Amino acid sequence: MGNSRAYAVFRTTDADEAYARARRLVALLAEVEDEAYVEAEVRTVGEARRIARLLPDAAVDRVEAACDPVTGEYLDLDLVLDAAGDDEIRAELPLCLSAEVPAATVGPELVRALGDGPSGVDWHGRWPDDPETGARGFGKYDGVQLVLHGDRARIDAWTPHHTVFLHLDKWADLPRARKLAARAGCEVLGDVQIGW
C-alpha cells in the first residue's frame, strides 16, 4: 500500500515542450506499461463531447463528489455522454473523463486535443536499477506524469503552465530523483508531493 513520491522536474507554458520533456523521461524507463492513463477535466458540454470522442471508452466522474443529503453516502454518476442530452450533461459539470489508451498513441496531437482545462497523462513503468547507489526500480510506483494546466501531481487548480513529474517508489530519495531528472535535462523543482 502507499503512494509514489512525485517530483516536479520541468515546468513551462508550452504544452509541446512539456510533452517532449515527458517523453525524454519516459525513454529512460527500463520498462514502460503498454497503456497510458489519460484524464481531463471538462467544464462545458462542448468540451465533454469533444473529450468523449477523443477517449471513447472514458470513465465519467464528477470533479466534486456528490452525497445523498439524508444518508451522506456518495452518489454514483450514471451518465453516458453519447446518449445524454446537453441539459443532462450541463447539470453534472464539471466532469472528469479518464481512460487507459495505448501508450504508443499518446502524441503531441492528443496532448493538444485535451484542451485548456486541467488534464494529465501518466506513463507507468520501472526506472532502471542504479548499481552505483544500489537503488532499484519499482514497477508499482515508478513512472512519468505530464500535468497540463497544473502544478500538482494530484490534479486540482488550473494554472497557465504545464508540469512534468517523475514518480519514484516511497523509499526513493531526493538524490535519485535529481539524478534521473538530470539525465533528461531536468531538475527537481520544489518539494516532493504525494503521487499515484
Q: How far apart are CA 79 and CA 59, in angstroms?
A: 10
- pLDDT means over runs of 10, the chain (196 residues): 92 98 98 98 96 95 91 91 96 97 96 95 97 91 98 94 96 93 98 96
Fill in the amino acid letter for 129: D
* pLDDT at site 2: 79
> What is the model's pLDDT at position 1?
60
Q: Whole-model pTM?
A: 0.94
pLDDT for res 137: 94
Q: Which of 124, 174, 130 is nearest to 8 (CA)?
A: 174
Based on its alpha-carbon atoms, the radius of gyration of the chain, rounded to whole angstroms, reads 18
SS (H, E, C) the chain: CCCCEEEEEEEECCHHHHHHHHHHHHHHCCEEEEEEEEEEEECCHHHHHHHHHHCCCCEEEECCCCECCCCCCECCCCCCCCCCCHHHHHHHCCEEEEEEEEHHHCCHHHHHHCCCCCEEEEEEEECCCECCCCECCCCCCCEEEEEECCCCCCCCCCCCCEEEEEEECCCCCHHHHHHHHHHCCCCCCCCCEECC
